[in-house]
Amino acid sequence: MLNIKNLSYSYHQEQNAVESISIKLNSDEVLCLLGESGSGKSTLLKLIYGNLQPDEGIILFNDEKLKGPAFQLIAGHPDVKFVQQDFNLSPFISIEENIGEHLSNLDLDYKKKRIKEVAEILEIQDLLQKQSHELSGGQQQRVAIAKAIAKFPKLLLLDEPFSQLDANLHLKIRHQLMEYLKEHRVACIFTSHRAEDALGFSDQILILRKGKAIQNSTPQKIFASPANAYVASLFGNYNILTAEDASKFGIPRNFLNKYVISYPHEIKVYREGKFQGEVIHSRFFGKEYQIEFIAKNHFFYALHPDYLKKGEKINFDIKNYRWVY
């Protein structure tokens, strides 16, 4: 349903904010754009929606070419909705009117029912009679999403949709919204800084850096085989060793110009481990501790069920790893 070919855009001549990006998305798929700050995620969404005019490339939505501002005065397409980071709510009308702004007034009972439905998904039933200036950032964010889904878009673009929500609401809204999108076959592209949003709630992840696509695949494949250390770093702490250094910990030197990457959960700290290290820190992560230790002059992160004291001698093995450039 969405086919983006070789999209490029630059704010200034010197550097492209988005460079030769191609995306294919089916009608019930969710794509997460993941990348460091300034990697081009918001710019890409603005290009797709039509807020910015691409320097190059083409965006086909159900085989129809989506137009940028050079060819269309008001951005957007009736079947595409975009929730930007500024939420864009109308200030002088109620939240209920905001959500229903694009719904027809011909059937007011249906309109009321639909507003109630989307308000429930976003947990904003109690806010309907208020005005946007009376709401917190997180409440405005949920209203903006409710407004975007009210008229059954076929493609939803969400820029950091959960950024203003506390941990509890984040989990609840993320679950309810994603269930809704799947049930109604709404394609979605969202940006996030949180690896778990990308891993658990998308069908595809597109990794961006400096406007370029670094990797595009399923969450499982990207996590298991990150293209490079940058991709691995987006999932949290990780261990990286040169081929030479990796050989000191039992890893054959198969690729001399590559690096070995291993996630903390792949370093097993246990009495039978073949290699020795010394604990530097134990940090409580909730379910377990993240242990930082040093071995043969290298820092490692590992996970362990118990608190280990600074200076404690431990044994460990690298149980899983992958080679990256």
Please state the closest distance from residue 136 (CB atom) to ligand ATP, in A.
Answer: 20
Give the Cα separation of 262 and 311 in Å (integer).
23
Burial class (CB in 10 A: 0-12, 13-18, 19+), 107: exposed
Cα separation values, 304 from 44, 70, 137, 287, 301, Å? 40, 56, 37, 9, 10
Please state the closest distance from residue 42 (CB atom) to ligand ATP, in A.
Answer: 3
Burial class (CB in 10 A: 0-12, 13-18, 19+), 142: buried
Question: In terms of CB distance, is 17 or 128 closer to ligand ATP?
Answer: 17
Please state the closest distance from residue 11 (CB atom) to ligand ATP, in A.
Answer: 3
Please state the closest distance from residue 140 (CB atom) to ligand ATP, in A.
Answer: 18
Give the Cα separation of 71 and 247 in Å (integer).
58
Question: In terms of CB distance, is 18 or 30 closer to ligand ATP?
Answer: 18
286 secondary structure, DSSP code: S
Question: In terms of CB distance, is 15 or 276 closer to ligand ATP?
Answer: 15
- Give the other-Cβ count within 10 Å of 59's Cβ: 21
Q: β-pairing, 2-9 with 80-83?
A: unpaired
Question: In terms of CB distance, is 180 or 235 closer to ligand ATP?
Answer: 235
Please state the closest distance from residue 101 (CB atom) to ligand ATP, in A.
Answer: 26
Question: In terms of CB distance, is 39 or 204 closer to ligand ATP?
Answer: 39
- Give the other-Cβ count within 10 Å of 13's Cβ: 6
Binding residues for ligand ATP, rule: CB under 6 A, are 11, 17, 35, 37-43
